[in-house]
Structure 1
Amino acid sequence: MTGESDRIELSEHELREIAGYAADGARRALSIFERTLPADTRPRDAIDAAYAFAGGGRRTGALREAAWAAYRAAQEAASPAAADAARAASHAAGAAYLHPKASAHQVKHILGAAAHAARAEELASEEDPSVVGGTLEWARHHAPPAVTAVLGRLPAAPPGGGRVGAFIRELDVVLRS
């Protein structure tokens, strides 16, 4: 069993695949945010920054700032669904900063964008379970090899986190099987 202080192997190629996957997941919910705040580009900018990194760009301070800006957009969002959509974008840009340590917290960095996108879609659909099922199924089928490989080196997703935490744990279990 791995301890919290153990390091894992984590290549730049894996980081790029994970960031691209997170950006794809966040993009699914972006329109939810943009419908309520069309002039606020912070979540879109964060997703674009994640795609730029995934496509070979550098991991810079601007990428980290885009993640924080999307996080701030979530705090200012007009609705809970829009807030989760912005959090998905923040997680997408933040995925580039996954740490090479065997910590259950790192699972959130890999699956957080998809989980927040699922929650945004669930809230926007007035809690329609078929919407969440479709989003989580998409996340399962579109996970690149790096996602499952890196999850296999980490402890299981941690408890807590409310509905988003439950989505993270659900995805974690399915992607490891």
Structure 2
Amino acid sequence: MTGDASEIDLSKQDLREVTAFAAVCAEAVLEIFEADQPDDSRPRDAVGAAWEFARGGERGRSLRDTASAALKAAKCADTTAAREAAWSAMSAAGAAYLHPLAKATQVKHILGAGAYAARAAELVAGDDRSVGAETLEQVVHRATPAVVAVLRRYPTAPTGGGRVGELIRALDAGLRSLPLVE
């Protein structure tokens, strides 16, 4: 998928790698949402759909529907931490829709699930930013060389976005600082 200067080379396998990474990140905080809303499987369903795509399934209606449902579940959450965990799940399903456009805003498709997961963990710990930093370290270790290679094709994460935006930028910087792996 190349052609003009604003396009990124992005294969279906790249999308699968990014989606698997996002699913791992979101899976780590599903219990936060489920403790708040034990009878609501929508975020877990979104992560399941992300895994299905990452493991070779098609990118289609299931991903879109479960991402939308996880977003709706976030609106039903009683706590902010549970809402952030549901957004992480939504982001995992949405990662499959990373666009091959050289725009900084696309970085959220790659890193959103990890940043929302870190924010959820911070909030569960009483808004302890050190917990967010520790979670981001774990997220960096979850990233495969393929995910880092995809990230490096895009501009750095944009400004704004509140605390989650800060976490995305910190995660972006952490992943870009890793040594190149061939």
TM-score range, shorter chain: over 0.9
Amino acid at match of 2:156: A
Bigger shift: residues 132-141 or 106-115: 132-141
| Aligned residue number for residue 38 of structure 2 | 38
Which runs of no fewer than 5 residues in structure 2 stay unpaired? 178-182
Q: Aligned partners of 2:116, 2:159: CA distance in 1, in Å?
A: 16
Q: Which stretches of structure 1, 4 residues or longer, exceed 4 Å deviation after superposition? A: none
| Aligned residue number for residue 80 of structure 1 | 80
| Aligned residue number for residue 6 of structure 1 | 6
Q: Aligned partners of 1:125, 1:38: CA distance in 2, in Å?
A: 20
After superposition, where does 1:57-72 map in structure 2 within 5 Å? 57-72=57-72
Identity %: 56
CA shift digits 1:43-76 (9 cap, x unpaired): 0000000001101111111111101110111122
Q: Aligned partners of 2:125, 2:60: CA distance in 1, in Å?
A: 36
CA shift digits 1:98-129 (9 cap, x unpaired): 00110101100100000000000100110223
**TM-score of the aligned structures, taking structure 1 as reference length:** 0.95
Amino acid at match of 1:125: A
Deviation (angstroms), 1:148: 1.0
Q: Aligned partners of 1:121, 1:18: CA distance in 2, in Å?
A: 21
Over aligned residues, Cα RMSD in angstroms?
1.0
Q: Aligned partners of 1:44, 1:53: CA distance in 2, in Å?
A: 14
Amino acid at match of 2:100: P
| Aligned residue number for residue 110 of structure 1 | 110
| Aligned residue number for residue 126 of structure 1 | 126
**TM-score of the aligned structures, taking structure 2 as reference length:** 0.92
Q: Aligned partners of 2:39, 2:57: CA distance in 1, in Å?
A: 26
Which runs of no fewer than 5 residues in structure 1 stay unpaired? none
Partner SS, residue 10 of structure 1: coil
| Aligned residue number for residue 140 of structure 1 | 140
Q: Aligned partners of 1:109, 1:118: CA distance in 2, in Å?
A: 15
Partner SS, residue 56 of structure 2: coil
Amino acid at match of 2:136: L
Deviation (angstroms), 1:150: 1.3
Amino acid at match of 2:174: V
When the two structures are aligned, how many residues end up with a matched partner? 173
Bigger shift: residues 129-138 or 158-167: 129-138
